[in-house]
Amino acid sequence: MGNQIKTTLLLAAMTIFIVLIGKLLGGRQGMILAFVLAAGMNFFSYWFSHRVVLRMYRAREVSPQQAPELYQMVQTLARQANLPMPKVYIIPEQAPNAFATGRNPEHAALAVTEGLLKIMERDEIMGVLAHEMAHVKNRDILIGTIAATMAGAVMILANMARWSAIFGGSGASEDEEGGLGAVGMIVMSILAPMAAMIIQMAVSRSREYLADSTGAALAGRADGLARALEKLGTYSRRLPMTANPSTAHMFIVNPLSGRSLANLFATHPPLEERIARLRGIRRSGGSQAGDRNRPTGDDQAKALWDRLSE
């Protein structure tokens, strides 16, 4: 229920934001047109945004015959999570990464890059897939996909405003129904993408921590995902992914982590902290004796799975 409320609030906030941009660009007429656009986008985002994201990354669906080991791992996790079998996709990209998308568990899809399948051991791939299946189980996928679509729309509107101002368009004048002048439109074209990044950050980063712990429970152990995150952190700096900033929050690790501006608007919690939590390592404080008596990451994963299964 929490994510349903969050999704509704996100759609309402984005509708208001797009209508406001329409008003600034074209006064009252622009506001009406923007409202119609926002209403259409809300409908489109719910039903079709996951398809857009998959096509954006040229993801191709694979069958059990085409990728038997990958398909079998996803099948095992779906059974463990008591969820329908999601569609499985492979992205033709050498940078290792993965994401889940879809409007609900019955229409979910898991996508992994070719690079991830090449560099990861089986238990590490299992950990990554379990993390993404956890997003499906926790119903994070709809809000993440909608946020990606809406953020992309805001960036498109910002580009339209910038080019309109450069080539002489200025929307409604400041005296005519509250439109912006050319200078105002240029300023808005700079600020709007920043607002889009903030929207992505509003999709709570705590969902990544929850997906890590739930994923460790589904996989039955935490060390596979922990080692996978270490590799992903290393490769994301050495081999940056060609990714759209509006979809960065959907991936298991930020594909834009090598870019300084992206770090200012980080969509993911620090990898070091995620790994430490998985391994049951206390970041600060605690005595040596206390640390020796602490359960391991695998013990915590098993205990969490027992609670989830009750």
Task: Reply yes or no on whether the pLDDT at 121 is more than 60.
Answer: yes
What mean pLDDT is predicted for residues 146-155? Answer: 70
Query: Tokens at residue 269, please?
Result: 């919690």
- Identify the pLDDT of residue 217: 92
Nearest to 25 by CA among 164, 167, 166: 164
Collapsing DSSP to helix, strand or coil, 104 comes out as coil
What mean pLDDT is predicted for residues 105-131? Answer: 96
Q: At what angle do helices 297-309 and 206-219 cross, to 10 degrees?
A: 90
C-alpha span between 98 and 247 (Å, rounded): 12
pLDDT bracket for residue 44 (50, 70, 90): confident
Greatest CA span in the chain, whole angstroms? 72
Task: Reply yes or no on whether the pLDDT at 308 is more than 60.
Answer: no
Least confident of 19-23, 52-56, 77-81: 19-23
Global pTM reads: 0.72
Name the active-site residue from 93, 124, 132, 208: 132
Which one-letter amino acid corresponds to residue 35? F
**What Rg do the C-alpha atoms of the chain give, in angstroms?**
21
Task: Reply yes or no on whether the pLDDT at 286 is more than 60.
Answer: no
Question: Alpha helices of 167-221 — where are they, by DSSP H?
Answer: 182-202, 206-219
Q: Catalytic: 132?
A: yes
C-alpha span between 286 and 304 (Å, rounded): 22
- Identify the pLDDT of residue 244: 78
Task: Reply yes or no on whether the pLDDT at 176 is more than 50.
Answer: no
